């Protein structure tokens, strides 16, 4: 059996235990307070000695440096020096112009000499002259027959004179009618035009050509060509020899 003292001791221990504050089992125990002189420093003394400080490496130190002596140095382009234009003498300038003109003339002469246009033109002229002569011969045969039926060259010339007078008279009537019409439309300010029209009217008056009694009655090629206003030299007819030239 337990003694009363032991029982009282157990009761006292239980009472002390009940008077103690509640401590959570999940709470970490508090560290004992230390004096300021004994507080551990936050810095570890051996940290710097144990961990080496990394040296800073510069980017431009990693790039290889080119050899300055082996790389050609590009020098800036020098500004070209403008040379003053040389002064040419007037005599030299005139000579150059003359030579250029001579070269141009010689070039044109060479082009004309080697061109086939003259040959083609000569061929066309010969073709035209041959065709014109053939047409003149055919027309001359029929015209000569008509002249002979009219009574010869004298009668033919008289007929030509009458036709010429009729044409000139007709032109004169047309000019006078035109003058009268202008006078009716513009009665004033026609003095200057009158002089011009008077000259035309005087030129339009018929001129009578008398046929000589000793005229040859033969009708020739040159007569017909002149009546048709064809140049004898152009078509190549010789009046004296009464034949074609060439």
- In which domain, by residue range, is 143 found? 118-152+218-246
Q: In Å, how far from its chain's centre is CA 60?
A: 59
Same domain, 134 and 177: no
Same domain, 122 and 203: no
51 band by pLDDT with thresholds 50, 70 and 90: low
Question: Is residue 13 a part of any domain in this protein?
Answer: no
> What's the rounded Cα separation, in Å, for the pair 153 and 219?
6
Residues 6+ apart with CB under 8 A from 161: 208, 209, 211
Q: Tens digits of per-residue pLDDT, 179-204?
A: 888 888 876 655 545 555 555 555 55
Cβ(135)–Cβ(216) below 8 Å: no
Question: Is residue 225 a part of any domain in this protein?
Answer: yes
Residue 112 CA: distances (Å) to CA of 24, 101, 122 = 131, 17, 14
Same domain, 146 and 236: yes
Task: Report the predicted TM-score, pTM, of the whole model to 2 decimal places.
Answer: 0.39
Question: Is residue 72 a part of any domain in this protein?
Answer: no
Question: Is residue 57 a part of any domain in this protein?
Answer: no
Same domain, 142 and 229: yes
Cβ(171)–Cβ(204) below 8 Å: yes
Q: Tens digits of per-residue pLDDT, 111-139?
A: 777 777 767 778 888 888 899 999 999 99
Average pLDDT, integer, range 219-233:
90
Question: Is residue 238 a part of any domain in this protein?
Answer: yes
> What's the rounded Cα separation, in Å, for the pair 176 and 204?
11
pLDDT of residue 208: 46
- DSSP single-letter state for residue 245: -
Same domain, 160 and 205: yes
pLDDT at 211 over 50: no
Same domain, 162 and 147: no
Same domain, 163 and 242: no
Same domain, 145 and 186: no
> What's the rounded Cα separation, in Å, for the pair 161 and 154?
11
pLDDT at 177 over 80: yes
pLDDT of residue 212: 42
| Structural domains in the chain (count) | 2
Residue reference for tokens 């040959």: 119
Question: Is residue 110 a part of any domain in this protein?
Answer: no
């Amino acid at each position: 059996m337990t003694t009363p003292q032991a029982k009282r001791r157990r009761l006292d221990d239980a009472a002390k235990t009940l008077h103690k504050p509640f401590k959570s089992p999940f709470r970490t125990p508090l560290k004992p307070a230390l004096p300021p002189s004994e507080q551990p420093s936050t810095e570890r003394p051996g940290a710097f000695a144990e961990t080496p400080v990394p040296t800073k490496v510069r980017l431009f130190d990693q790039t290889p440096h080119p050899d300055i002596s082996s790389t050609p140095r590009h020098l800036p382009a020098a500004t070209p020096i403008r040379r003053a234009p040389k002064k040419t003498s007037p005599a030299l300038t005139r000579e150059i112009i003359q030579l250029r003109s001579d070269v141009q003339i010689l070039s044109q002469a060479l082009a004309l000499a080697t061109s086939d246009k003259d040959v083609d033109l000569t061929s066309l002229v010969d073709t035209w002259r041959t065709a014109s002569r053939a047409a003149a011969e055919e027309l001359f045969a029929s015209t000569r027959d008509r002249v002979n039926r009219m009574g010869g060259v004298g009668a033919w010339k008289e007929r030509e004179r009458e036709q010429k007078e009729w044409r000139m008279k007709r032109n004169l009537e047309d000019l006078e009618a035109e003058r009268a019409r202008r006078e009716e439309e513009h009665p004033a300010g026609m003095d200057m035009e009158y002089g011009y029209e008077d000259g035309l009217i005087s030129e339009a008056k018929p001129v009578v050509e008398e046929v000589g009694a000793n005229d040859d009655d033969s009708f020739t090629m040159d007569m017909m060509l002149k009546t048709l206003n064809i140049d004898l030299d152009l078509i190549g007819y010789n009046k004296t020899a009464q034949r074609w030239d060439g």
